[in-house]
A and B are shown apart, each in its own frame.
Chain A
C-alpha cells in the first residue's frame, strides 16, 4: 500500500524539517569531521583516520571527561535534593498558591543565562556581596576565595538548572493521590517511612527526568566553568571550545563532541527505559486519585 501523508503528519513537517536542518545535518557533518586528520597549519586534511577517537581515551582527556562527569554529577545531586524539597513544599501548599510559587521558582529562567552567571561573580568575588555580608556581621579575616573554584562552578550549575528539577518533580508530586500517604500512616508507618516506601518510589520518574536535564546540560556546559571556574577547572565543553577556536584542531574537537553526545544519549536512553517501566504504576497512582 502506498503511504499517503495524513493531515497530522503534514503538521509535523515543519518540526521535522527544523530538526533535520539544524540538528541531524550539523551532527552528521561534525561526525564526518571526526574521521579526518588535522591539517599541518590548521584546517582539515581529508584523509581517513580513527586517531581522533583514540586520542579521546588519552588519560589527559579521559580525565577531563571524568572530571566533567563528577562536577555534573555533584551539581545534579545537589539540584535534585534542593529541587525535590522545593517541589514537595509547592505541591503541599494550598492549590491556589501553587501556580504562584511555581512562577517564582521558574522566574530566573526569564533572564539571560550569562547575566545570571555574572550575578554569581558579583556574589562570590573577593570583595563581593558575600564578603561584605561577612564583614558586616563582624568577620575580619581574609576574604574567602570562592570565585574560580569548583564549588563556584557547581553552585552556578545548580542555580541555573534547579527550575528543571522543580518542574520535573512537581508534576508527579502534585498528581499523587494524598490518600496513599494517609494509608501508609494509617497502617503504622512514620512520616519518614511513608516518604521512603510510598512517596519516593512513586515520584522517581520525576526525579530521573529532572536529574537527566541537569546532568546532560551540565556535563556539556562551557559558559559556567569558563566564567565561574576561571578556566582552571576544564570541563569537556571548554575542551571542545578550545579545540575548535584556539587549538584549531577541528577533527579532534569533533571527536570530543561526538563522545560527549554519546554520553548524553546513553543517559537519556537509560532514563527513557526507566520512565517507561515506571509509567504503568504512575498512571495507577494518579488513577487512584480520581477513583
Chain B
C-alpha cells in the first residue's frame, strides 16, 4: 500500500489565552480518509486545538495546512471544514430538514440540488421520518444524528466532532461508536474526533493523539499506543496498567522488596534511576509455568465478574496498590479461585514496559 496522503498538517501550533498556554507547539499530520482521535483529560488543549481547526480560535503561533494551504487565519464560514458541536447546537426554531438544508443554502446551491442532497443524507442517517420535527421533539440519539447530517451534507474535506457521544447513555454510545465508524467509511470523509474517553478512541480511531497540558505525548495507532505507550502518563491514561515502582538495573527494574522485574530498559534510563515497570492486567497469568520470567505470589482480595472475563485484585509485595489481573471466564472455570486464596502470578519480560518515574 502506498503512503496515505496528508490532508491536514498541524505545524508547531500554539495558543495562549493571556498567560495560559492551552496548546503548546503541537505538530500533527492527519491523513486523507482517516478516523483520527484527539484524546486527553479535560484541560489538555484538545478542544482548543479543535476550535482552531474549525476557525473559532486563531493560533498564537504556527500553521494549519489543509491540502497544503494555510487556513490558520481563515474565518470559519470560508473553510471546507465542519464541526459537530458537543451540544449539537441544532437551530431550535427550524425543523430537522431546515437545519440540514441551512449549510447548503449558504452555498447558494440550486433548490433542487439542495433537496436531493438533504434527502440523501436524511436517508443515510435514518432521519426521514423526523424531517419535519423540531429539535425539541427528538431524542438525544436523534439530535446527534441531525447534527451529524447537518455537517456531513456539506461534504467537508474534514469533519470535526467534539465529544460527539458525550451526551448519550452508555448503551447507545456503544451503538453510535460503530455507527459513526460505518458512516465515516460510507461517506469517505476524514473525521477528527475529540474525546476524553480512551475506550472510545481505541474503538473508533485509525490513529490517535494523546495530549496533556497542551503538549502532544504520542501519536500512533490505538494498538501501538496501547501496547507501547510513550510515557507513564499515556500508559496510565489508556486502559488499565499495573505499576511496580523501583530502580533501573541492567535488565529490568528492582522493586522495593528486592524482586527483580525483567523487561527491556529504554536507552534513556541509566542504571539506578527511579523507574516504574508496568504490565497490562490481561498479560498477567495465574499459576504461570516455571519458565515465566517474572513471578510473584499474592492474596486475592476482590473478585469481579465481568461476563467475558474475571478481574482479580491481588495483594502482592511488589507494589502498594493491589495487582490487577484479568483472566478469561474460561480459564477461571478450569481452575477456580476465591477471595482470600494464595495465588501465583507471572508475566513475560516482553510484556513489561519501563518508564521513568
Contact = CB atoms under 8 A, between A and B. Distances in A.
Interface of A: 177, 179-180, 182-190, 193, 197-198, 201-202, 280-285, 287-289, 291
Contact of A284 (B77, B102, B135, B167): B135
B92 to A, nearest CB: 4
Interface of B: 54-56, 75-77, 82-83, 85-93, 102-103, 106-107, 134-136, 150-151, 154, 167
A284 B154 contact: no
Contacts, number: 83
B87 A177 contact: yes
Contact of B136 (A198, A283, A289): A283
A241 B22 CA distance: 66
B93 A187 contact: no
Contact of B93 (A185, A201, A287): A201
Given A186-B54, A187-B103, 13 more contacts: A184-B102, A187-B102, A187-B150, A188-B103, A193-B106, A202-B93, A280-B136, A281-B93, A285-B93, A288-B88, A288-B89, A291-B86, A291-B167
A202 B134 CA distance: 14
29 contacts: A179-B85, A180-B91, A182-B76, A182-B83, A183-B83, A183-B90, A183-B91, A184-B102, A185-B55, A185-B56, A186-B54, A186-B55, A186-B77, A186-B151, A187-B77, A187-B102, A187-B103, A188-B77, A188-B154, A189-B102, A197-B102, A198-B91, A201-B93, A280-B134, A281-B134, A285-B93, A288-B89, A289-B87, A291-B88
Contacts of B151: 186-187
A193 B89 CA distance: 17
Contact of B106 (A189, A202, A287, A289): A189
Contacts of B86: 179, 291
Given A179-B87, A281-B92, A288-B89, A185 B136 contact: no
Contacts of B76: 182, 185-186
Contacts of B93: 201-202, 281, 285
A186 B75 CA distance: 9
Nearest to B54: A186
Given A284-B135, A288-B92, A291-B167, A190 B87 contact: no
Given A288-B92, A289-B87, A189 B77 contact: yes
Contacts of A193: 106
Given A180-B91, A202-B92, A284-B92, A188 B106 contact: yes
Contact of A285 (B55, B88, B92, B107): B92
Contact of A187 (B134, B136, B154, B167): B154
A43 to B, nearest CB: 57
Contacts of B102: 184, 187, 189, 197
Contact of B85 (A183, A281, A285): A183
* Residue in B88, B89, B90, B151 whose Cβ sees the most chain A Cβ within 10 Å: B89
Contacts of A280: 134, 136
A286 to B, nearest CB: 9
* Residue in A188, A282, A285 whose Cβ sees the most chain B Cβ within 10 Å: A188
A202 B150 CA distance: 19
Contact of B77 (A179, A185, A198, A201): A185
A183 B136 contact: no
Contacts of B56: 182, 185
Contacts of A287: 136
A177 B134 contact: no
Contacts of A281: 92-93, 134, 136
Contacts of A179: 85-87, 89
B88 A190 contact: no
Nearest to A198: B91
Contacts of B87: 177, 179, 288-289, 291
Contacts of B150: 183, 187
